[in-house]
Structure 1
Amino acid sequence: MSEFVTISEIVQKLKFTVKSGVDFISKRTMISDLSRPGLELTGYFDFYPSDRIQVLGRTEISYIKSISHMNRMAIFEEMCQKDTPAFLITRDLEVPPELMAVATSNGIPVISSSMPTSQVSSMLEQYLSDRLAERISVHGVFVEIYGLGVLITGESGIGKSETALELLKRGHLLVADDRVEIHQLNQSSLIGEPPEILLHLLEIRGLGIIDVMSLFGVGAVRDRADINLKVELLNWDDNNRYDRIGAQIEGDQILGIEVPRVKVPVRVGRDIPGIIEAAAMNYRAKLMGFDAAKKFDDNLSRLIAKNSALDQENETAEQRKKDHEAASKKS
């Protein structure tokens, strides 16, 4: 998790323009939320979130133009606090000279974007949320199979990278090998991506490190993806009883979000890449309402009911036969 993001990083990443205070763009923000001042422009500062980037759009700039020079100076003096990271002007609107002067005297940069306020606010909040989100690092391989992000974990040397290589040959995509950096996108989604040093690289024991993009092309890699399914590779143990029906999908908690998990035992002769492909397709089918385990259970229930009915019919017929024989003996 990054503790802060500098205004310089924001300007470079989102292609903003520095209007004033270029010497101050090393200032930091530690909050992903933005502030779009409204009541503050009228002089109400009781709940002013001064530690957020202040966004001024067409409405705010129009109002500022309608008030006197003295009022502008007084408002901006209140808004330019020590912990204010920056002022962001949208639509490339003209920056009020009073804002430039007061911001510069307080060491606060003024930046701008040509995009509409709602669009730039959404983009900036998403960027800050990604950068400031809590992150964990997981040992494993992360691939995208049929549009689903599949996190493959297991003991070192069990064959995770070799499995990823075979999946690449089958047309699937590599996101990360060896280490997967995970952070929360929202209350129900996780994002996985590789550490910068391992981007597009895959390590195969006995072969070394290979550049996946060079060997398989740009269509074989992704820089990040949602984590939809976890596949845990296990060494085969004859004493274990492995799930043969899959009626219940287990889950693992990652950053407070439950990720469906499938356990796949590994031994010589098993097509592990093919099994993982099938696991991804089966999970997608369940999301669409097609559950093979439920279908098997329904078929079994119908067969039991059918056999029970046949048994009942046979018992009834046998009883009738006995009753008939008894009646014949009496007569």
Structure 2
Amino acid sequence: MKLKIKHLIQDLDLELLSDKKALNREIKSEMLSRPGVELAGFLDFFDSDRMILIGSKEHHFMKLLPYDIRRQRIEDIFMKKPPGVIFSINVEIEEMFLELANRYDVAILKSKVRTTPLSGQLYQYLHSKLAPRTSLHGVLVDIHGMGTLITGKSGIGKSETALELIKRGHILISDDRVDIFEAAPGVLIGSAPKILEKFIEVRGIGIVDVVSMFGAGAYRENKKIKLVVELEHWKKAKDYDRLGIETDTIKIFNTDVAKITIPILPGRNIATLVESAAMNQKLKFLGYNAAFELTQAVALKASGLGREEDEDD
């Protein structure tokens, strides 16, 4: 994804102080640069792809330098063409910054936020926009807080199942294509491509706007993926898991996600099965495993240690 200065300004409510020609400068790194040794004149490891953040500490350090040296250090940094410099709310911006920024096509931005929260906000935003992404064919639905990715071959009924789930009060994130990035180790976030947001395609009906049909609560922009449910046509030769003691997983980036395969047969209510799978997986996250409890009770009964059932008088 290409992220430009103008997108950063719009999404984070920043003020552009330099010329507008810098609005189309591209940001390529999710990391930030907090210049320390660079302001001291050491630029050997300076990464020109990073946005520069200047807070109170950097500002006060610069003030300790004589004006000519300070100006030369800033020019040395700007000559390497970083995309932009963001100043936190309490930092005064010297005129030389604007002059040099316009000369070297570097954006000068001003935030309304203090340095520490601004740093966290910037990193999270840049990481979400620039982290490696992958796309999977499927439907992502929020089922009682469980981000459930429904996959399967084309025409098997993924969108129809999602539509029924939305009708029951669950929430659509994306239909047909789900864009996924790893926000942190073990955390996968799924969202819809911009053009597909709020829409779902149902064969025989066409394109449905779930917000217009079911209300604003029927759609959300993104969700952490906690379960993958694969729909497949019933295979007689396949031995399907009937207890669910062990859960399969699928690896997306470096994260293993629980995966359940549901065989499709005429008469089976797929939406109910997917909903039940999501709720059962949620119980497992909360520490309750119905299959384990049952097998443990059966084992105790077989050993003679189980609780005797009450007999009728």
- State the TM-score, normalized to the length of structure 2: 0.93
Runs of 4+ off more than 4 Å: none
Given that residues 92 and 112 in structure 1 are in contact (C-alpha distance below 8 angstroms), is that contact kept between their aligned partners in structure 2?
no
Q: In 1, distance between residues paired with 2:39 and 2:173? A: 46
Distance 1:102 1:207 in 2: 58
Structure 1 position 163 matched with structure 2 position 161 = yes
Aligned-partner Cα distance in 1 for 2:112–2:284: 44
Q: Which has the larger radius of gyration?
A: 1
Q: Report the Cα distance in structure 1 between the residues aligned to 2:230 and 2:89, rounded to whole angstroms.
A: 49
Q: Give me the whole-angstrom Cα distance separating, in 1, the residues matched to 2:239 and 2:62.
A: 72
Question: 2:16 — aligned with what?
Answer: 18
Q: Which letter maps to 2:76?
A: E
Secondary structure class of the residue paired with 2:53 = strand
- Which residues of structure 1 form unaligned runs of 5+? 308-331
Q: Deviations over 1:196-248 (max 9, x none)?
A: 22111111111111110001000111111111100001111233221110011
Distance in 2 separating the partners of 1:183 and 1:67:
43
Q: CA offsets, 1:57-104, max 9 Å, x none?
A: 112212223332112112112221333111111115321122222222
2:169, 2:239 → 1: CA distance?
33
Native 8 Å contact 1:80 1:102 kept in 2? yes
1:92 and 1:113 in contact (8 A); partners too: no
**Of 223, 226, 244, which residue of structure 1 is paired with 2:242?**
244
What's the counterpart of residue 175 of structure 1?
Answer: 173
1:50–1:81: 8 Å Cα contact kept in structure 2?
Answer: no
1:219-230 maps to which residues of 2 (within 5 A)?
219-230=217-228
Q: What is the deviation of 1:55?
A: 0.8
Deviations 1:26-74 (A, max 9, x none): 2222111001112222333343333311111112212223332112112
Partner of 1:273: 271
Report what 2:142 is aligned to.
144
Q: Distance in 2 between matches of 1:77 and 1:240?
A: 68
The CA RMSD measured in Å over matched residues stands at 1.7
Residue correspondences, number = 306
Aligned equivalents of 1:196, 1:41: Cα separation in 2: 40
Alpha-carbon offset, residue 285 of structure 1 = 0.8
Equivalent residue, structure 1, for 2:28: 30
More helix per residue: 1 or 2? 1
Q: Which runs of 5+ in 2 are unaligned?
A: 306-313
- Asked whether the 8 Å contact 1:58–1:91 carries over to 2, the reply is no
CA distance in 2, matches of 1:166, 1:111: 46
Counterpart for residue 207 of structure 1: 205
- The answer for the alignment partner of 1:233 in structure 2 is 231
User: How does 1:27-176 map onto structure 2 within 5 Å?
Assistant: 27-91=25-89, 93-176=91-174
Cα contact 1:91–1:117 (8 A) shared by 2? yes
Tell me the SS of whatever aligns to 1:259.
Answer: strand
CA distance in 1: counterparts of 2:247 and 2:140, whole angstroms? 20
Q: How many Å separate the matches in 2 of 1:111 and 1:253? A: 39
- Corresponding residue SS for 1:76: helix
Distance (Å, rounded) in 2 between the aligned partners of 1:228 and 1:175: 13
Letter in 1 for 2:209: D
**2-side partners of 1:215 and 1:269: how far apart?**
27
**Equivalent residue number for residue 7 of structure 1:** 5
DSSP-derived class of the 1:136 partner: strand
CA distance in 1: counterparts of 2:119 and 2:143, whole angstroms? 33
**TM-score, length basis structure 1:** 0.88
The 3-state SS of whatever aligns with 1:64 is helix
Contact persistence 1:182–1:191 (CA under 8 A): yes
